[in-house]
Amino acid sequence: MKLQEMTWEDFETADKRVGLIPTGSTEQHGPHGPFATDLIIAEEMATHAAKETGALILPSISVGISREHEDFKGSLYISPDTFRAQLKEIILSASSSGVDRFVVVNGHGGNISAIYEVCKSLYIEYTTIALEWTWFNAISARNMGHAGELETSLLMFLRPELVKEPRDPGADTWGHRLHGTRMDYLTSSFTENGIVGDPTKATAKKGEELFDRATEKLTGLIRELYDSDQDFLSREPDRS
């Protein structure tokens, strides 16, 4: 259930063992994809997992660390410091209300480092258990791109009415590399249409398969959090 749709009396009796925080971005996804692509995917995955497990869905962070897209007008962004502060304070305030553990369900690559930093600092400073979970890393997605085959497939499955034509290919890779280092800071420097990858290969069927694989991982993580002792982060790894 979503926190925003509860009353405070509902919250008193709600299952507060695990809170999910969807994070995404408001950034261009080519001529065919909506600005909210990353957020839509994260929210849909969190909603599915919450229905399967009973986890609580906390408010989303809808604007992410996305300044690299600033040349594509309409793209919004906040600084890494602002993002980290917002996420940390959401978690701390929810924790003070009794939410025990947290999973940040993320759909945007630019947020990953900041989420991990917040989760680590919360554990070190407060022993608060919060974990970064990004769908494409969870399933070791290949050829992730940007507004390419994978994200477009997910949108065609989840929100087909938002996917426009034409869906032309974009750049082959994310930026240029020189002697082992990335050379680009702005998306516009290596893709004219804002796309990395080939959305012409996208299908709703592929999107359904991606969604099922990712949400299976997410529900498994939530169930592990339900079953684990409070000190699970310091357990010896299972090498069996």
Q: Where are the domains of the chain?
A: 3-228
**What average pLDDT does this structure show over 106-116?**
98
User: How many CA atoms lie less than 13 Å away from 177 in the CB half-sphere?
Assistant: 6
pLDDT score, position 229: 66
Q: What amino acid occupies position 61? A: I
pLDDT, mean over the chain: 93
Q: How far apart are CA 208 and CA 108, in angstroms?
A: 19
pLDDT digits (tens, 9 = 90+) for 131-147: 999 999 999 999 899 99
pLDDT score, position 230: 54
Instruction: Check if CATH label 3.40.50.1100 holds for domain 3-228.
Output: no
pLDDT band at 228 (very low <50, low <70, confident <90, very high): confident
- Number of neighbouring beta carbons within 10 Å of residue 113: 13
Are 20 and 57 in contact by the 8 Å Cβ rule? The answer is: yes
User: Residue 226 is encoded by which pair of tokens?
Assistant: 């339900």
pLDDT digits (tens, 9 = 90+) for 67-97: 999 999 999 999 999 999 999 999 999 999 9
Please list, in sequence order, all residues whose beta carbon lies within 8 angstroms of the beta carbon of residue 157, skipping any fewer than 6 positions away: 204, 205, 206, 207, 208, 210, 211
pLDDT digits (tens, 9 = 90+) for 48-64: 999 999 999 999 999 99
- pTM across the whole model: 0.93
Q: Residue 152: is its pLDDT beyond 60?
A: yes
Give me the sheet containing 18-23, strands edge to edge.
56-57, 18-23, 101-106, 129-134
